[in-house]
Amino acid sequence: MRSSRAALDRLLRPSELLVVSSDLSHFLPYDTAGCVDRETLATILALDDRLDGERACGYKGIQAAIRRARRLDQRAVLIDYRSSGDTGGDKRSVIGYGSLARSGAAVRLDRRLGWERPPRCRNRP
């Protein structure tokens, strides 16, 4: 972990962005995926790096971004969340996607998405 931190610090100035791309949940029913993904997004927004591959396949990159944000006293802001079920896909098995950005502003969950706190998921994997 220290070597990756040192590498990032050598490559990026504090003003430069670290871009990370990752899907969230995979192949869960639409409602279950939404619940699981909201929990994952809340974890990321809280700058909690305790993620695993069950929550996001690119969790290592997300962890690096979270750790960098904490070192630079930045926050994460949710821009949008959708799943493949929102784009016309089969709702019996979806893939979740979230867009977040760094910010100096206070962490908040986007009220447009209809949640201020993630619900406790029932019947989740």
In a domain, residue 88? The reply is yes
The backbone torsions φ and ψ at residue 123, rounded to the nearest 5 degrees and listed phi first, read 55, 35
In a domain, residue 105? The reply is yes
Span between the terminal Cα atoms of the chain, in Å: 28
Q: Are strands 94-103 and 26-28 parallel, antiparallel or unpaired?
A: antiparallel
pLDDT tens, the chain, 125 aa long: 566 667 777 777 777 777 888 999 999 999 999 999 999 999 999 999 999 998 999 999 999 899 988 988 888 888 889 999 998 889 999 999 988 887 764 444 444 455 555 556 665 55
* Cβ-contact 96, 78 below 8 angstroms: no
pTM for this entry: 0.79
In a domain, residue 122? The reply is no
What is the tally of structural domains in the chain? 1
In a domain, residue 8? The reply is no
Determine the structural domain holding residue 37 and report its residue range: 20-113
pLDDT of residue 116: 52
In a domain, residue 92? The reply is yes
In a domain, residue 125? The reply is no
Q: Read off the tokens for 59.
A: 């969790």
